[in-house]
Amino acid sequence: MTSAEYRAKHAGPLVAQEEQMKQKEKRHKYGVAEKSERTVDGITFASKGEMKRWQELCLLQKAHEIMGLKRQVAFGLWVQGELICKYVADFVYTEHEGGKSVRVVEDFKGVRTEAYRLKAKLMKAIHGITIRETGARGG
């Protein structure tokens, strides 16, 4: 009897269980969609909602309602000359408000983690920037 025959005879149900477990889709802890469902123009986003927001902002830029649209912009959060951490904004752009150009730092939120809340407070305290939240938990 070959080793493969032995495994098939004696470990059949166990092997079948392992195969089923491998085939089960691993779910993201926040229920994020498959990578292919959240990729557009070669850019993979953290969520479908963030991807849709990017597409909206691109349309706003084409309509000249906003300008200078960038994604994944990093901000150093320094305290007394020491880098504590970095905050990476989903989107940064300039919009016109009341005849003035205003820089917007935006984050698409599905879940407001403790780390995010702390970084948002540090952004306000250090840089004077209030993060605009959009999405399921944002505006």
Could you list the mean pLDDT of each consecutive 10-residue stretch along the chain, which spans 139 residues? 68 58 52 66 88 96 96 97 97 92 95 95 97 79
Tokens for 42? 């070669």
Segment 20-37, tens digit of pLDDT:
555 555 555 555 556 667
Say what the pTM is: 0.71
